[in-house]
Structure 1
Amino acid sequence: MFKRLINKMMMGMMNNMIDQMMNRMMQDPYTENLFSFATIMNKLSPRAIIEAGMRAESGKPIERPLGTYNIQSEWNKLLLNPVHIFKLPTQDGVQINTTTVIGPKAKNPLKLEIPILITGMSYGGALSLKAKIALAKGASLAGTATNSGEAPLVAEEREAAKYFIGQYNRAGWMNDDKQLKELDAIEIQLGQGAQAAAPMGMSSHQIGEDLRKAKNLKPGENAIIHTRLAGMDEPSDFIKIVQGLKGKYDVPVGLKFCASHYLEQELEIAIQAGIDYVVIDGAEAGTHGGPTTLEDDVGLPTLFALSRAVKFLESKGVKEGISVIAAGGLTTPGHFLKAMALGADAVYIGSIALIALLQTQMSKALPYEPPPQILLYLGKFKDDLDIDEAAKHLAKFLKSCVEEMKLTTYVLGKTDLAQINRKDLVCIDSTLAKVLDVDYAGYPRATKDFQEQAKISPEMMIDKKTDEELRIH
């Protein structure tokens, strides 16, 4: 009886509230109507509203973790072509080769067991030492390389990494002989997809003693990343830097930069310098926390940048000697395969690797803080990360991706991931197909290509004139 009375009272109160709310929404003018917030959000997204509030609160540039929401690379419009009769799928049981070589013309090329690498995420500037060690261990378990990011060489990370790529960076933290000798590849970092070459810094009060010693900073000195490398005041200086590194060290020397519409001009200089590999870092690349304008409005989408870079290197006749690593917003085995089909020798992953790293450990921060607080150098829960568990989950993620890539390679009729090329792609958008130089799904494949691969009579093929007419119309 008492329970029914309480229920009746509660329903009555709710009914009155709802009636008043509905009456106000239906009767009040827009300027006084709470419903106006719904129309405002049709114009201003929740993200725009919240970020405007952050700017109004701090008066400083705001930094968003893991990069942009503005994904313009339409990987979903590209599909891979399986085969059945005119060319048979690869026989099950045949071993699929997954190895890749970075810098094939270097004295000591970097040979990896899989073509998925961990991208540059720095100790201190981005991640905690625990997170960096976990990335190195996970990469090693999977037979691939990890990257220092814009940071100094740290003994614990180097020891955990089977293959280690170090960035010759704009802050100068890994640019001395002692550290460079410890690397399996040297990556000259002139910029990145999420921040380009913007100057970045870290206040001295945020820097712990271990990080201060690693970066060789004086007490009270801020950590500064400049827009340029020291001593690089004109393009010819870059050539001198590359040739100096190649002359002194036997490992591949690469270039990482934010892909832009000046892509071909940048690559022309890189070719003159004798670079061994290039990292095409697209605008969708992630970061620990970068200014939103640099994340959202600067650079080329990864898909277009990769295609242009590969075609330019091919036109110069140097693609076989210069490895291409695609980076920026690549998250699935399908992305990785499509990037390789467009000419990448390997891919870098960052944000998705961190998600895999955390796996079941996200609950250590939730619901009080977002999961990145477990990984970041300044994270509130960074000490709670279980390194071995994180490394195990990352390795499993990488293994899962590679196994799916191998299965797809069977249906393409190939035996090596490196054999996948543009002919294995089809695009459902005619304009994008033309830009990427792949077949459009709305037209039959070229008659000559059919005859060469299927080795069947011309009588069985679509008439060449009809096919050309289809392409024109």
Structure 2
Amino acid sequence: MFKKLMNKIMMGMMDNMMDHMMNRMMQEPYTENLFSFITIMKKLSPKAIIEAGMRAESGKPIERPLGSPNVQSEWQKLFLNPVHLFKLPTQDGVQIQTKTTIGPQAENPLKLELPILLAGMSYGGALSLNAKVALARASAMAGTATNSGEAPLIDEEREEADYFIGQYNRGGWMNQPEQLSRLDAIEIQLGQGAQAAAPMGMSPTQIGEDLRQAKDLEPGEKAVIHTRLSEMKQPSDFFEIVQQLRDEYGVPVGLKFCATHYLEQELEIAVKAGVDYVVIDGAEAGTHGGPTTLQDDVGLPTLYALSRAVKFLEEKGVKDRVSVIASGGLTTPGHFLKALALGADAVYIGSIALMALLQTQMSKALPQEPPPQIPLYLGKFKEDLDVEEAAEHLAKFLKSCLEEMKLTAYSLGKTDLAQLNRKDLVSVDQELAKVLGVDYAGYPQLGADPVSESNINFMEKENEEPQPTTH
């Protein structure tokens, strides 16, 4: 009886409230109407409203973690082409090769077990020491490389990694011989997709004693990332930097830069300077907390930038010696395969690697704080990260991705991920197909001859199966 009475009272209250709200929305002018907030949010997104409030509060540039939500790379409009009779799928039992080589013409090329690398995320500027150690340990467990980001060489991180790429950076923290001599590849960092070449810095109050010593900063000194390398007074200076690094250390020397509509002009100089690889870092790239305008409105989407870069290198006849690493917003095995098919030799992953690394450890911050508070250097829960568990989860993520890529390779009739090319792709968007140089799904394959009795015998010879090998 009491329950029914309470239900009746509650329903009556709700009915009165709904009637009142409905009457207000139907009768009041827009300037006084609560419904106006719906139309406001149609014009001004919730993101724009909240970020406007943040700007109004601080009066400073606002920084958003993990990059831009403005994703314009249309990977979902690309599909891979399986085979059945025209060409037989790869026989099960045949081992799919997954290795990749970065900088094949360097004195000591970087040879990895898989084409998925961990992107540059710096100690201090982005991540905590625990997070960096976990990334390095996971890379070793998976047989791939990790990257220093714009940071000094940290012994704990270097000792965990089998393959370590260090960034010759605009802060100057990895640019000394004793550090460069311990690297497996040197990446000249002139910019990145989420921040371009804007100057960045950390105030002295944000810098702990360990980080201050690692960066060789005086007490009270700010950590600054400049727009240029200190020795870059003019573009021609880049030639000397590349040549000196290649001659002295013998490892692949690469260039990382923010993908830009000036892509071909930038690559022209890089190729002439003799770089062994280029990192095409698209506008969807992640960051610890870069300014929103640089994230949302600067650069080129990764998909278009990658396609243009590969075509340029092919036209110059140097694609066989200059490796390409695609970076920025790549999150799934499907993305990785499509990037390889467009000509990338490997991919960098960052934001999605952090999500895999955190896995259920996100609950240590949620619901009071967002997950980035766990791996970030300035995060409130950085000391709570379980390094061993994090490394194991990320290594399993990489293994899972690789296994799916291998299964897909069987269906494409491939025995090596390096065999993927544009012919393995088709687009459901006609304009995108034209831009990327792949077939459009609405028409038959370009240049494909009809199958006839006269060429079936030829196909049979072409499709002779490789003998299964032991895994």
Please state if 1:153 is matched with 2:153.
Answer: yes
Partner of 1:348: 348
Partner of 1:15: 15
Shift of the alpha carbon at 1:450? 6.1
**SS of structure 2 residue aligned to 1:455:** helix
- The 5 Å alignment of 1:18-417 reads 18-417=18-417
Q: Deviations over 1:186-210 (max 9, x none)?
A: 0000000000000000000110000
Distance (Å, rounded) in 2 between the aligned partners of 1:288 and 1:451: 54
AA aligned to 2:288 is H
Distance (Å, rounded) in 1 between the aligned partners of 2:71 and 2:329: 8
Distance (Å, rounded) in 1 between the aligned partners of 2:170 and 2:238: 12
Structure 2 vs 1, CA of residues 397 and 43 (structure 1 numbering), >3 Å: closer, same or farther?
same
Shift of the alpha carbon at 1:2? 3.3
**SS of structure 1 residue aligned to 2:236:** helix
TM-score (ref. length: structure 2):
0.95
AA aligned to 2:6 is I
AA aligned to 1:409 is A
Q: Deviations over 1:132-173 (max 9, x none)?
A: 000111111110000000000000000111110000000000
Distance (Å, rounded) in 2 between the aligned partners of 1:330 and 1:259: 15
Q: Deviations over 1:223-249 (max 9, x none)?
A: 000000011011100011000101101
- The 5 Å alignment of 1:405-444 reads 405-444=405-444
TM-score (ref. length: structure 1):
0.95
Structure 2 vs 1, CA of residues 217 and 310 (structure 1 numbering), >3 Å: closer, same or farther?
same
Q: Deviations over 1:373-424 (max 9, x none)?
A: 0010000000000000000000010000000000000011010000000010
5+ residue gaps, structure 2, are 459-471
Structure 2 vs 1, CA of residues 72 and 316 (structure 1 numbering), >3 Å: closer, same or farther?
same
Distance (Å, rounded) in 2 between the aligned partners of 1:450 and 1:120: 48
Distance (Å, rounded) in 1 between the aligned partners of 2:373 and 2:324: 33
Distance (Å, rounded) in 1 between the aligned partners of 2:335 and 2:448: 29
8 Å CA contact 1:282–1:302 kept in 2: the answer is: yes
Distance (Å, rounded) in 2 between the aligned partners of 1:17 and 1:74: 45
Distance (Å, rounded) in 1 between the aligned partners of 2:227 and 2:327: 21
Distance (Å, rounded) in 1 between the aligned partners of 2:133 and 2:450: 50
8 Å CA contact 1:109–1:251 kept in 2: the answer is: yes
AA aligned to 1:149 is G
Distance (Å, rounded) in 2 between the aligned partners of 1:450 and 1:364: 60
Distance (Å, rounded) in 1 between the aligned partners of 2:422 and 2:303: 13
Distance (Å, rounded) in 2 between the aligned partners of 1:75 and 1:35: 37
Number of equivalences: 457
Shift of the alpha carbon at 1:6? 2.9
**SS of structure 1 residue aligned to 2:337:** helix
**SS of structure 2 residue aligned to 1:235:** coil
Distance (Å, rounded) in 2 between the aligned partners of 1:301 and 1:13: 52
5+ residue gaps, structure 1, are 459-473
Distance (Å, rounded) in 1 between the aligned partners of 2:248 and 2:67: 36
Structure 2 vs 1, CA of residues 281 and 451 (structure 1 numbering), >3 Å: closer, same or farther?
farther
Shift of the alpha carbon at 1:4? 3.1
Structure 2 vs 1, CA of residues 447 and 266 (structure 1 numbering), >3 Å: closer, same or farther?
closer
Query: Superposition RMSD on alpha carbons, in Å?
Result: 1.4
Shift of the alpha carbon at 1:431? 1.1
8 Å CA contact 1:451–1:457 kept in 2: the answer is: no
8 Å CA contact 1:66–1:287 kept in 2: the answer is: yes
AA aligned to 1:119 is A
Give aligned-pair identity as a percent.
79
